[in-house]
Chains A and B, each alone.
Chain A
Amino acid sequence: MTTPSPEDVHTPMLTDGDEFRIPTYKLLQQDGTLYEGAEAPHLERDKALRMYQAMVFTRVLDERMLAAQRQGRLSFYMQCTGEEAAVIGSAAALDDADVIMAQYREQGALAYRGFTTDEFMNQLFGNELDYGKGRQMPVHYGSTRLNYVTISSPLATQIPQAVGYAYGQKLAGDGHCTITYFGEGAASEGDFHAALNMAAVHKVPVIFLCRNNGYAISTPTIEQFAAEGVAPRAFGYRMHVIRVDGNDILAVYEATRVARRMAVEDNRPVLIEAMTYRLAGHSSSDDPSSYRSKKEEEAWREKDPLLRMQRWLTDKGWWSEDDEKRLQESMRREVLDTMKRAEKRPPPPLESLVTDVYDEVTPALAEQLDQLKAHIRKYPDAYPKSASQVTGGD
């Protein structure tokens, strides 16, 4: 087999790819009206409201939890603020049985799928009801019920895993696909490149959704890549790509809907680059004021994806100021009440230290646990989280 080559030339002809310009797909303007010539995707009222409510919930959750972190009630937090449309618009275009492999800033997708406030809080506080058994930092959610694979902090590791998962879905013929989310910074990792290549070579039903939010912690995109965005990389792997206004939930929804159809019907992977902005710090440990200007942030606040969708819903007569006030208030109350419940719950049992390392607790681990219990019995005051579990007689 020989690789098909372009026409031969006999003088050096270099190309930098600049002849390929990838446009940005946009439907909704900030005032809530459609661009001229743009057509809104078909969305039922209930679905549109489900999407919007997930956006508001995510915003409220993020505001409250960052405040809780500042009050010392929570060790750490990461906000999705500014990127709600990119995450929720794409999640809404999937079947709820499609699998999500996210990075860590995609709580909106979980909210859309119906992760309950209790489920969020139990993970955030790492209590006895946390599915992850209090082993990971806050925001590392996972849910089998909602087909959301548990978050891992190392960047980009989920991207080739999504390709493998989706290849399995293709073989199973279940008509489902996998979407993987990541930032434009994570797209610099080797795992990203490996994943795109394997997906294209093996014709895998996977959607790569890059949240190009402008920053990898402090590093701006201009120091992350010389190219114009992440999207052009798809060409190198012969993969379809679409760039979309990430603050435009209608455009994100429609782009993902089209991508999903290509993925599940034709086994063609698609890269989506959602252009957005991380309005918050990287995490509760970060202070963006040392690497970017308030003016820049303000310019993006003007493009708030929530307000944009709210205006569209209002124009359609599906939403009112009263609805907004009621929703905000009830969600705030729910988040606060649930938080109070979750933070009072005890931590996972001491045994959870050694379970799940393997499918069964090995004899060596059982012995280490026994030694630990004996030690805690001797110094109960030093281990307040677990002392009552071992002193009250097992």
Chain B
Amino acid sequence: MARMNMLQAINHALDTAMAADERVLCFGEDVGVFGGVFRATSNLQQKYGKARCFNTPLVEQGIIGFANGLAAQGSIPVAEIQFADYIFPAFDQIVNESAKYRYRSGNLFNVGGLTIRAPYGGGIAGGHYHSQSPEAYFAHTPGLKVVVPRNAHQAKGLLLGAIRDDNPVVFFEPKRLYRASVGDVPESDYQLPLGEAEVVKEGSDITLVAWGAQIEVVEQAVEMAEKERVSCEVIDLRTILPWDVETVANSVLKTGRLLVSHEAPLTGGFGAEVAATIQARCFLYLESPIARVTGLDTPFPLALEKEYMPDHLKVYEAIKASVEF
């Protein structure tokens, strides 16, 4: 075990993957000698050479198209998109290519080796274009896996799991926690499973589902609620697609209440998918409407970011409203 922040844990995961398998390559804008704008790829070029860790020209669709080709050839590309907000020029390559390579060829070809890393989320005074949480766009695309870690330990294990998963994975990293999330991380090679949620905290009155940076916010709200004797169960979805319905449904069958929280806007957010599925699975057990605490249906703001964010106070109020329904 070593104390690491999330960036160090991600760097450790990339280092581990590159050391274990020479087919693993890391590339993207500024990831080479600079080690990425957040330094997630620090020292990888120095350690593994320019052929395996390198800067690309500034062209996101090129980066992911190139990565698709590499993955089809049998390499294991880990492509970095500098900010999730800048992933959209690559949307075609991800949605129409990465996601459908296997299906359209009858599994003659696949890009299962592909992992796309991108920092996402707000809380850093980043305005429209350094704050968005675009997971729902990708969750609407069968063929992709979408993974979001909540802390340093999870980040290393899930990233290694993503790199070694034989499906294209979009891996969104909560950049607000890059340096803020510090914890004990095994220095050894370990993987956490994709497609499995984790019950972070058990409770009996209400189930709270979130992922990534929002888990920390939910935990703050839970602390407030538990002072008022509301017993909360917290589930980190970890993988948004394909998501772990069983774990959430089993929890809601027990608690009878569900709250989903994410930073992305309300309408069409992944919370809507969770709510629809759970109401179908747990209809007769629900004691209150499923609550969603999310960003507003607006672009991500700057000066009024604090007001926009689904913070712990909003989550706390929604917990109270649910149990008092």
Contacts and interface: CB of A to CB of B under 8 A. Distances in A.
A282 to B, nearest CB: 9
B59 A386 contact: no
A185 B130 CA distance: 19
Contacts of A153: 85, 127-130
Contact of B297 (A134, A225, A368): A368
Interface stretch (A9-17, A253-261, A268-276, A344-352): A344-352
B83 to A, nearest CB: 9
Interface in A124-138: 126-127, 130, 133-137
B305 to A, nearest CB: 9
B242 to A, nearest CB: 30
Contacts of A133: 303
B57 interface: yes
Contacts of A265: none
Interface string B282-301: 00000000000000111101
A365 B298 CA distance: 8
Contact of B313 (A188, A225, A382): A382
Contacts, number: 133
Contacts of B57: 185, 188, 219, 223-225
A155 B88 CA distance: 11
A136 B307 contact: no
A379 interface: yes
Interface stretch (B25-33, B109-117, B198-206, B209-217): B25-33
A291 B302 contact: no
B317 A137 contact: no
Contacts of A300: none
B125 interface: yes
A185 B301 CA distance: 27
A386 B304 contact: yes
A138 B293 CA distance: 29
Contact of B296 (A130, A365, A385): A365
B29 A135 contact: no
A219 B301 contact: no
A75 B314 CA distance: 26
A92 B57 CA distance: 31
A385 B37 CA distance: 31
Interface string A202-219: 000000000000001111
B142 interface: no
Interface string A151-190: 0111100000000000000000000000000000110111
B128 A135 contact: yes
A292 to B, nearest CB: 10
B243 interface: no
Range class of the B interface residue count: 35 or more
B302 A352 contact: no
Interface stretch (A25-33, A59-67, A240-248, A370-378): A370-378
A40 to B, nearest CB: 36
**Max chain A CB contacts within 10 Å: which of B62, B267, B297?**
B297
A353 B58 contact: no
A198 interface: no
B86 A154 contact: yes
Interface string B14-43: 000000000000000110111001000000
**Max chain A CB contacts within 10 Å: which of B58, B129, B296?**
B58
A368 B89 CA distance: 31
Interface of A is mostly: loop
A188 B62 contact: yes
Contacts of A299: none
Contact of B303 (A225, A286, A347, A376): A347
Given A136-B128, A140-B127, A153-B129, A350 B304 contact: yes
A357 interface: yes
Interface string A353-392: 1100100000011001000100110110011011000000
A290 interface: yes
Contacts of B296: 353-354, 365, 368, 372
A319 interface: no
A141 B311 CA distance: 29
Contacts of B58: 155, 185-186, 188-189, 216, 219, 224
A217 B34 contact: yes
A217 B30 contact: yes
A76 interface: yes
B179 interface: no
Given A217-B34, A372-B296, A385-B306, A136 B127 contact: yes
Interface of A: 75-76, 126-127, 130, 133-137, 140, 152-155, 185-186, 188-191, 216-219, 223-225, 285-286, 290-291, 347-348, 350, 352-354, 357, 364-365, 368, 372, 375-376, 378-379, 382-383, 385-386
Given A189-B60, A357-B299, 17 more contacts: A135-B302, A137-B127, A153-B85, A153-B130, A154-B88, A185-B57, A188-B59, A189-B89, A218-B33, A223-B55, A353-B304, A357-B298, A364-B297, A375-B317, A378-B317, A386-B304, A386-B307
9 contacts: A130-B303, A133-B303, A137-B129, A137-B302, A185-B58, A219-B58, A353-B296, A354-B296, A386-B307
Interface of B: 29-30, 32-34, 37, 54-55, 57-62, 85-86, 88-89, 125-130, 266-267, 296-299, 301-304, 306-308, 311, 313-314, 317
